[in-house]
Structure 1
Amino acid sequence: MNMTHDAAPEPRSAAGQRALEAHVAWWLERSQGAALDVWLEQTVDHALRDAEAFTLESVVHRDQVKTTALRYAAELPLTGGIPDLIADVAHALHAHPALDSARLDAFLPHEAIRTLTAKGIELRPLAERVLQELRDTAALQQFVEELVYQGLHHVLLQQGPWRRVGQMLPEAVAEHLMAEGAQRSAQLLTRSSQALLAAVDDEALQDAMTVFWDRLAELPLAPLRDGLAADDIDELTALAYAFWQELRLSPLYRGLIERAVEAVFARYGAMTLRALLDDLGIDRAMMLDEARRYAPRALAAMRENGVLEALIRRQLAPFYASAAFEQAIEGTSSA
């Protein structure tokens, strides 16, 4: 199947027409088989050689990268099929048969947990500082009080085993007892947490975390997966999408993106593009492998539908139709 060529300028002479057709045919021949493989290898080699002549900041400015990063991360409207696509992917992962027999330690190996736990223990001063800040926060006190109060209310006045006792008390007395108990419980919980953490030594904490993880590691994922219905996935996806839409508009988020770009340029700005690729672990073999993986099939599809020939012709025809070509073959000059 050949597509009709877009309107391209016609060569001024028969020689120009022959040269154009030969040039188009030459490129089409190079787009397949052994010739394509040679061309891909040469292209990668030339690109890597040329990459040694340029640094990152010589070809792109950090402000340009910031603009692009902000455009796609914070400004591009995420509408249309994107939310539906995210939901489709979530459903596909949820239905993956491997989850039928997988355990939690398939995602979080023991060694990784031990390493993370050891690092967490090293950060004990940070944890104690966080607990100190939370302990002194009125919002946390109110949250714990409300949580305890609701629990007591359920036990004494609704369906708990102490419901009869609660019904025997005057309502005002019951309310006072619940409020007082909630306040004292909140104070006890928030104050004791930091003291408890400080009282446990590192080795004991490591042992406790190891035992805890050993119990969780064999937890099968199927029951957890089965407890998440299709409607739950859709709702969670929608909530996450709505949250992301709000977060990406915040000044803090934009500022973090800009700072990340600054960090990249601080590390790689003066480095050559070849050295940058090496530092990222992208070598010649990897680049050539990916080119061989995708280029042949894509070019074959374009060639079969006439798109490739039309593309080549659009690029070459203006030159062969120009006065510059005629002057070249005639040996004359426009000067």
Structure 2
Amino acid sequence: MSGMSSDAADLAARLLDAHVDYERRRLTDPVAFAALVEEEITAFLDAADQLPLEDAVSRDLVKAVARKYAIAFPVDGAIPGLVGTVASRIYEYSTGDDTRLGDVLERRRYEELAAGVAELGLSRRMLKRVLDSPATEDACVEAIQRAVDSSRMPGPVATVVDSMVERVARHCARTVLAANRAEADHLVLDAAREVWLAGADQSVGDVRDVLSSSDVEDAVVLVFEFWRTFRETPFFRAILDEGVDEVFDTYGATSLSDLLDELGVGRDDLVEEAMRFGPPVIARIDADGFVEAALRRRLSPFYTSAEFAALVGR
């Protein structure tokens, strides 16, 4: 309080104490905090009604933030380890659970999901591509050839047998694949139903029969390694920018309050979450003296400023 008279400095100290005490009570008293939450959220939404997204923030700024956290933000250190630890814990919990798979997902819901997946154009196109692939035909032929062991036959006979088996197998493979091509969606549905019938009575804990803890760890490593390289490609940067552009093209002229409504977040939701987290968190840090210290740190510069000294006449 350099430059102030002793009376002005004393007034500044008393006003600071009163101001800190007032603001602290507003934060720590449940009734006062509830009123503060209602007041601030109402004021924010009133302003948000008149503020379109594109006026509140530019798409270039959003792209910069998206690039930072999706591309430049490191995924090393504790993050992969934490994901792996969480996955392992969920796996350990699942392997000890005796809940039936049929109780987790009803058969009717499962079949609706399977039918939806089978009817997707993507599913049909992918299965058609597999059935049309020369590699699929070759795999079928090789499987049949392996079943016919000609190694114990005389050389000339073995050559003839192998040739004949290949021709017959290739013809049969083409016939079978062509016949199933038109029923691709039924193949998916039938396979899904078989999976359900085979596993509906099993418990969630039986997942260890098909998925081991090492499989979980390997999957985590594979996902992170893929993400680490994929996010650095020009293609990923381009689709990230396209995603931001689409949001602004669609919602740029939409007010922030309407945008929140589109996202399913209303005034009552904001108030509810503020009251859920605010009081317990503030009470905890107030017990350590953090609230008063923070308020005093933010308010004291004004009461020691030249502006305040000018107001009270030094």
Aligned residue in 1 for 2:11: 15
Distance 1:276 1:116, change over 3 A: same
Q: Percent of aligned pairs with the same residue?
A: 28
Taking the aligned partners of 1:114 and 1:75, their CA distance within structure 2 comes to 42
TM-score (norm 1): 0.77
- CA 20–97 in structure 1, closer or farther in 2 if over 3 Å, else same: same
Q: Give the match for residue 215 of structure 1.
A: 197
Identify the residue that residue 326 of structure 1 maps to in structure 2.
Answer: 309
Q: Deviations over 1:181-226 (max 9, x none)?
A: 56864675466435424268x8x77985785465256152322235
What's the offset of the Cα at 1:253? 2.0
Other-structure match for 1:239 = 222
Matches of residues 1-335 of structure 1 in structure 2 within 5 Å?
12=4, 13-33=9-29, 34-96=31-93, 100-106=97-103, 108-120=105-117, 122-123=119-120, 129-130=125-126, 133-134=129-130, 140-142=133-135, 144-146=137-139, 148-149=141-142, 152-153=145-146, 155=147, 165-170=149-154, 181=165, 185=169, 188-189=172-173, 192-198=176-182, 208=190, 211-212=193-194, 215-216=197-198, 218-220=200-202, 221-330=204-313
**Alpha-carbon deviations, 1:96-116, whole Å to 9, x = none?**
258623344455444444444
- Residue 141 of structure 1 deviates from its aligned partner by 2.1
Secondary structure at the counterpart of residue 31 of structure 1: helix
Partner of 1:161: none
Q: Separation in 2 of the partners of 1:193 and 1:94?
A: 38
Distance 1:37 1:176, change over 3 A: farther
Distance 1:114 1:66 in 2: 41
TM-score normalised by structure 2 residue count: 0.81
Taking only aligned residues, the RMSD between alpha carbons, in angstroms, comes to 3.5
Whole-angstrom CA distance in 1 between matches of 2:285 and 2:88: 33
Q: Is residue 57–residue 269 contact of structure 1 (8 Å, CA) maintained in 2? A: yes
CA–CA distance in structure 2, aligned partners of residues 39 and 63 of structure 1: 34
- How far off is 1:240 after superposition? 1.9
In 1, Cα distance between the equivalents of 2:189 and 2:221? 40
Structure 1 pair 22/209, CA: closer, same or farther in 2 (3 Å)? same
Displacement of 1:302 after TM fit?
A: 2.0
Distance in 1 between residues matched to 2:98 and 2:154, nearest whole Å: 54
2:114–2:189 Cα contact (<8 Å) kept: no
- Deviation for aligned residue 1:246: 1.6
Greater Cα shift, 224-233 or 320-329: 224-233
How far apart are 1:319 and its partner, in Å? Answer: 1.1
Q: Quote the offset at 1:123 in angstroms.
A: 4.3
Task: Supply the distance in 1 between the matched residues of 2:38 and 2:58 (Cα, whole angstroms).
Answer: 30
Residue in structure 2 matched with residue 5 of structure 1 by the alignment: none
Comparing 185-194 with 28-37, greater Cα deviation is found at 185-194
Segment of structure 1 superposing worse, 170-179 or 281-290: 170-179
Decide whether the 8 Å contact of 1:57 with 1:265 is kept in 2: yes
1:54 alignment partner, SS class = coil
Unaligned runs of at least 5 residues, structure 2: none
- Cα deviation 1:30-52 (Å, max 9, x = unaligned): 12132222212222222222211
Which amino acid is the alignment partner of residue 11 of structure 2? A
